Amino acid sequence: MRFTGKTALVTGGNSGIGFAAAQLFIADGGRVAITGRDRAKLDNAVAELGENALGIVADLDDPNAIDAMFKQIQDSFGSLDIVFANAGISGPTPLGGTTAAAFEAILRTNLTAVFLTVQGALPLMSEGGSIVLNGSVMRQLGSPGSAAYSATKAGVTGMAKVFASELVGRGIRVNTVIPGGTRTPIWTRGARAGATLDGTEEALSPSIPLGRLATPEEVAKAALFLASDDAAGITAAEIVVDGGTTGAPWGAALYRRKS
Ligand SMILES: NC(=O)c1ccc[n+]([C@@H]2O[C@H](COP(=O)([O-])OP(=O)(O)OC[C@H]3O[C@@H](n4cnc5c(N)ncnc54)[C@H](OP(=O)(O)O)[C@@H]3O)[C@@H](O)[C@H]2O)c1
């Protein structure tokens, strides 16, 4: 068991990739605090995860809620070995149709809250700790209408490297998992309400060399590797879980020539 005796925080652990990561941490011996804004979803997730899960309602857009979250973790766990800063949102911000508030809402959750989460965790972490951020292939893809989301994910990649260099003296590693399209509720929320995961997969899979979306578990397994001592020699690195989308785009069905 890789995480026996270890404690982890998974932000956004009541859904999607975060929930899959929490399940895997617990299956591998760890105790996990999961957070989310939606109390009902959080309660259901904790019920499914069992006694080694602690549910904390926290809107990470609010710095006071981040402080309160760490107070609760300190009271329950005493210390933290692992942080998976995973919570995030997407949303359209097209040129010509986006307010400052809509743009900044994405920055606040995906960038500022990630910074404050890492900063807030540090007093609870010690030598051997591991921080994993959740980025996105959108850090490098020019997808119309995604300026704020892409900017935040490029920012996550940049911040992770800065964090890694700042924390190396404390023996804390910082790495990033970079998902491509993954089968989670993010594709059916907000502006995409009414869309289905199957419809999304059908639309996107021709541009993915492996021909399908990733599963949340596939992304979570990469995050857990980075979090574990198996990755003890790895910091300031990324693992891309995108079915080849960014590394081998011409292998996708969309581009393959029939010969
Ligand atoms: N799915 C993909 O295709 C994909 C691809 C690349 C990167 N990612 C990244 O993966 C991460 C996880 O997303 P997911 O795909 O698993 O989507 P998801 O199922 O929608 O999960 C998002 C999680 O973030 C939480 N969250 C959002 N805003 C929050 C806030 N202000 N405060 C606290 N929690 C907040 C949500 O909690 P509530 O529901 O309770 O609000 C939820 O638990 C995100 O950073 C996303 O950008 C996903």
pLDDT given for residue 9 in this prediction? 98
CA end-to-end span of the chain, whole Å? 48
Is residue 106 helix, strand or coil?
helix
Q: Which residues are catalytically annotated?
A: 149
Orientation angle between helical segments 147-167 and 100-107, nearest 10 degrees: 30
For 48, the domain range is 7-251
Read off the pTM: 0.98
Tens of pLDDT along 188-221?
999 999 999 999 999 999 999 999 999 999 999 9
Amino acid at 18: G
Going from the Cα of 185 to the center of ligand 1, the distance in angstroms, rounded, reads: 8
- CA–CA separation, 240 vs 27, rounded Å? 23
> Would you say residue 1 lies in a domain?
no
- Ligand 1 atom showing the smallest separation from residue 179 Cα: 6
Name the nearest CA neighbour of 31 among 49, 57, 56: 49
> Would you say residue 256 lies in a domain?
no
Per-residue burial over 19-46, b = 16 or more CB atoms within 10 Å of its CB, e = otherwise: bbbbbbbbeeebbbbbbbbeeebbeebb
Q: Which regions of the chain are under pLDDT 50?
A: none
Is there a contact between 226 and 175 (Cβ–Cβ < 8 Å)? yes
pLDDT given for residue 10 in this prediction? 98
Orientation angle between helical segments 147-167 and 113-121, nearest 10 degrees: 20
Tens of pLDDT along 241-258?
999 999 999 999 999 876
- Ligand 1 atom showing the smallest separation from residue 183 Cα: 1
Q: What is the DSSP letter of 139?
A: G
> Would you say residue 184 lies in a domain?
yes
The residue whose CA is least distant from atom 28 of ligand 1 is 88
Is there a contact between 84 and 63 (Cβ–Cβ < 8 Å)? no
> Would you say residue 69 lies in a domain?
yes
> Would you say residue 94 lies in a domain?
yes
As given in the structure block, the two tokens for residue 17 are 């990739």
> Would you say residue 259 lies in a domain?
no
Is there a contact between 216 and 184 (Cβ–Cβ < 8 Å)? yes
Counting the structural domains of the chain, the total is: 1
Is there a contact between 93 and 103 (Cβ–Cβ < 8 Å)? yes
Going from the Cα of 246 to the center of ligand 1, the distance in angstroms, rounded, reads: 21
pLDDT given for residue 258 in this prediction? 61
> Would you say residue 2 lies in a domain?
no
Going from the Cα of 90 to the center of ligand 1, the distance in angstroms, rounded, reads: 8
- Ligand 1 atom showing the smallest separation from residue 219 Cα: 10
- CA–CA separation, 106 vs 108, rounded Å? 5
Is there a contact between 19 and 182 (Cβ–Cβ < 8 Å)? no
Hey, which of 46, 186, 241 would you mutate to test ligand 1's pocket, going by the most ligand atoms within 8 Å of its Cβ?
186
Going from the Cα of 257 to the center of ligand 1, the distance in angstroms, rounded, reads: 36
The residue whose CA is least distant from atom 45 of ligand 1 is 88
User: In sequence order, which residues have a C-beta less than 8 Å from that of residue 16 and are 6 or more positions away?
Assistant: 182, 184, 185, 186, 216
Is residue 82 helix, strand or coil?
strand
pLDDT given for residue 69 in this prediction? 98
Going from the Cα of 39 to the center of ligand 1, the distance in angstroms, rounded, reads: 15
What is the CB < 6 Å shell around ligand 1? 12, 14-18, 35-38, 41, 58-61, 86-89, 109, 134, 136, 179, 181-182, 184-186, 189
Domain CATH code at residue 11: 3.40.50.720
